[in-house]
Chains A and B, each alone.
Chain A
Amino acid sequence: MNRRSLFGKVTGAVALLVAGRATATAAEPDVPHCKFGGLAGDNPHFNKKKELLASGTYRLQTGMTEPKVRLRILFAQCNNVISWHVFPAVLDHDSKTWSVIVPDRETHECWVGVELGFVRNGSDSVMEFLELRRARVVD
């Protein structure tokens, strides 16, 4: 291998590393999130055992600790008040993913949201969730 091609390879590798770092930084701004994976209409869904399955990703902002992800199922009450059934999610801290299996749910129209709880400056806080998805019933 001559000196010129070696220089080209080293330059290329450095450029790739720099680009990789830049991409990683650009892809992950320091903004918290907690959301469903996949498409609405697919996730969450009921399986044939009437279990409600949901999964997604989360991210904490710098300074936030102790993430807690909770599934909130919109519950119809007779007095027209919106209330929620809350189910904690299981977190995978390495992949920053969450998942929930809720057993024995009625498979009628069911709207589901997901919220992120965390600790910041020693206080518990919750990030408001802005999206609800209809749980799909698998035939």
Chain B
Amino acid sequence: MLATGVFLMASPRDAAPHNLYEPACRMDGLVGNNPKSVKAGEFEVTGTYVPPTGATNFSVTVMILESIGPGGIGWATHPATMDATKKTWSATVLNQKPDSEHWVGVRCQFILDGNQMDQPAQELRKVRIK
């Protein structure tokens, strides 16, 4: 009976709204391996995503740290290609300066309960362009 009570108390937690601090999209694998520059002047990056329950129009954007100024951080953006079946995304970003270094992150956007939600990048990984 006690166990049932504990179970009933614990159950609502499962139904709690998705924690929006928890990244809904992230890069795969290990830092240093992804993103990766295989060809000169470009890099590739891949990852997975988990849309919050009820989210629609889910999209992933690759964010590249471009500048830092008094107005804050400037980003270059590049849309990712989504695979809705595998819940993966990927992007190939072209026209990068050879031998340059970039900090790369990923941001996801979706509609939840009629509201446009924007989850900024939580992690940046360094990539050196070939």
A residues contacting B by CB (< 8 A) are 35, 39-42, 74, 76-78, 80-82, 108-109, 111, 128-134, 136
Cβ contact within 8 Å between B68 and A130: no
Least Cβ–Cβ distance between A108 and chain B, in angstroms: 8
Residue from B21, B31, B67, B68 in contact with A41 in the complex, judged by beta carbons closer than 8 Å: B21
Taking residues whose C-beta sits less than 8 angstroms from the other chain, chain B's interface range is 20 to 34
Cβ contact within 8 Å between A134 and B68: no
B residues contacting A by CB (< 8 A) are 21-23, 26, 31-32, 67-70, 72-73, 103, 120-126
Which chain A positions have C-beta within 8 A of B22?
39, 41-42
Residue from B26, B32, B103 in contact with A132 in the complex, judged by beta carbons closer than 8 Å: B103
Least Cβ–Cβ distance between B43 and chain A, in angstroms: 13
Cβ contact within 8 Å between A132 and B124: yes
Q: Which residue of B lies closest to A75 (CB)?
A: B68
Which label, helix, strand, loop or mixed, suits the secondary structure of the A interface? loop
Q: Are A77 and B68 CB-contacts (below 8 A) given A131-B124, A132-B124?
A: yes
Pairs across A and B, CB under 8 Å, 10 listed: A39-B23, A40-B23, A41-B21, A41-B123, A76-B70, A77-B68, A82-B68, A130-B125, A134-B122, A136-B122
Which chain A positions have C-beta within 8 A of B72?
76, 108-109
Least Cβ–Cβ distance between B93 and chain A, in angstroms: 17
Question: Most chain-B Cβ atoms within 10 A of its Cβ — which of A108, A128, A134?
Answer: A134
Once bound together, how far apart are the Cα atoms of A41 and B24, in whole Å?
11
Residue from A39, A41, A76, A108 in contact with B69 in the complex, judged by beta carbons closer than 8 Å: A76
